[in-house]
Amino acid sequence: MYLTEHAHPWKKQLYVKGRKLPAAAVWIEMAVNNLSVEDAMDNWDLPREVILEVLQYCEANKTLLEMEAAEEGRLLQEKGVTLGRPTACR
């Protein structure tokens, strides 16, 4: 098992062992940028087995990850951060 719990006040998602890297960060980055497993391996310098475990975990825990993302968005808005659609850098 390559994922582990990480001390956080309210987040329950798992992180990549030995790194402060939430599984969802890898999963979302792969989806947003249409990264292959090989691209993700290169991007984070992780073995294939770790990336595959991240994908499996995130697919199985979508509800948790969506709830955490919504809560994070709510907390940011409470602090006055305006959330909008990301734009491409030019």
Instruction: State the chain's mean pLDDT as an integer.
Output: 92
The rounded distance, in Å, linking the Cα atoms of 87 and 48 is 31
Q: Is the pLDDT of residue 82 over 80?
A: yes
Residue 40 carries which side chain, given as an amino acid letter?
A
Instruction: List strand residue ranges (DSSP E) for the chain, in order.
Output: 3-4, 15-16, 21-22
pTM of the entire structure?
0.84
Sign of CA dihedral 68, 10, 54, 40: positive
CB within 8 A of 47, min separation 6: which ones?
41
pLDDT higher than 80, residue 87: no
pLDDT of residue 90: 45
pLDDT for 83 equals 76
